[in-house]
Amino acid sequence: MSDIVAMVEEIGRKAQKGARVLAWADGDVKDQALLAMAEGLESARGSLQEANAKDLAAAEARGLSPAMIDRLRLTDAVIDGMAEGIRQVVALPDPVGEMSDLRRRPNGMQVGRMRVPLGVIGIIYESRPNVTADAAALCIKSGNAVILRGGSEAYHSNRAIAAVLAAGLDRAGLTGDAVCFIDTTDRAAVGALLKMDQYVDIIIPRGGKGLIKRIMEESLIPIIKHLDGICHTYVDSKADLAMADALSFNGKMQRTGVCNATETLLVHQAVAKAFLPGHVARLQKAGCEVRGCARTQALAEGVIAATEEDWGTEYLCATLSIRVVESLDAAMDHIDRYTSRHTEVIVTTDHSRAMRFLREVDSSAVMVNASSRFNDGFQFGLGAEMGISTDKLHVRGPVGLEGLTCQKYVVFGEGQLRT
């Protein structure tokens, strides 16, 4: 066994010990620990920024782009933000221990379900070091231990943050074992982690498609993942066109580099002529590049011809593709073919079309008359999120505290025997 594998196994064992302590820690003990973690970050500001300086120097030496370097930087505001984020998690209700669906069986036995932590969560992430604190806080609140593996470019920063968080857990009388950090930049450590299903219950990758595909291929451990966000807004023939204009514009332009931004606008042919010229002009005026099908090009100025590839592209910038469709069914067919199953919106005043779209479109969030930008843990009222799952198993959409737990069956008997 290589040194790396041995080291990662040692971390696995430690995290599993930590998970046992966390699993049934009382809610207020976990909250005290989270507050100690937040205070720890604030008072370690100096040493965190010292560690961060090493990453920044290395990034500059490697010639990373200014934007990339900016994402790495632990400014005072970023440190304050991490502490504030942890305090917001403190304010959320503890999901662990909730009992539901308790029913009496014909033999008098009560059968129900109890919400419990998953155990050990492995998080593999790229860039931004604040993820270290955000992810750890959600795992601790939900009673899990976490193994953190950040990108090599933020190695020193992540390491320093994780150490502060573990110390906060220790200070609060829980255990630092519940926040483990893989203390090497060797890529073999990721491979070892992904095979360690005896210690790790779930892997959550956060990063680009390349990272996630590699993890899917290698992992023996179940994954909760976000692949990409090719989100659609469909303007129905029965849409309120002023509302459609506002929703499409907000879906695309309110923030463009995010997974819940609208990437393709579908427009029913009956309203295309009334809707598209003005809407396209408004988008273009705001700096949005518009690509479209031939019918869109015929109706609006300055539209670039969309290629087949456009329909399957997550632009993550101020570019929108537009297609005129013949019917609601054609819109749903287009979505079914090209969607990444993240977020889809219908704009319509027709009840039965709205309900058909809601039922039949299979994405993590399906919306009637609302902006695609709302698919988000804070906006949905989950309080915080670990990411947005485009998987179908276990949890779809924003992954909040509940997504980091599972339900076991509990049975209250009085000596019942099976016959």
The footprint of a copy of itself (CB under 8 A) covers 20, 23-24, 97, 103, 105, 109, 111, 114, 116, 118-119, 197, 201-202, 216-217, 220, 222-224, 240, 243, 246-247, 250, 254, 336, 358-360, 362-371, 373-375, 379-381, 391-394, 396-398, 406-419
CB of 144 to a copy of itself, least distance (A): 11
DSSP state of 19: H
Pick 153 or 245: Cβ nearer a copy of itself? 245
CB of 340 to a copy of itself, least distance (A): 12
Pick 32 or 248: Cβ nearer a copy of itself? 248
Of 88, 83, 105, the residue nearest 39 (C-alpha): 83
CB of 51 to a copy of itself, least distance (A): 34
Pick 131 or 247: Cβ nearer a copy of itself? 247
- Whole-angstrom Cα distance, residue 59 to residue 283? 36
Of 314, 243, 246, the residue nearest 282 (C-alpha): 246
Q: Is the dihedral of CA 238, 243, 249, 251 positive or negative?
A: negative
Phi-psi region of 67 (alpha: psi -120 to 50; beta: other; left: phi over 0): alpha
Pick 7 or 114: Cβ nearer a copy of itself? 114
Cβ atoms of 252 and 317 within 8 Å: the answer is: no
Instruction: Tell me the residue type at 294.
Output: A
CB of 411 to a copy of itself, least distance (A): 4
Pick 151 or 229: Cβ nearer a copy of itself? 229
CB of 129 to a copy of itself, least distance (A): 27
Cβ atoms of 86 and 38 within 8 Å: the answer is: yes
Pick 88 or 152: Cβ nearer a copy of itself? 88
- Whole-angstrom Cα distance, residue 77 to residue 72? 13
CB of 259 to a copy of itself, least distance (A): 14
**Using CA atoms in the order 252, 254, 257, 259, what is the torsion angle rounded to 10 degrees?**
-70
Residue 158 DSSP SS3: helix
Pick 49 or 371: Cβ nearer a copy of itself? 371
Q: What's the gap between Cα 256 and its chain centre?
A: 17
CB of 322 to a copy of itself, least distance (A): 19
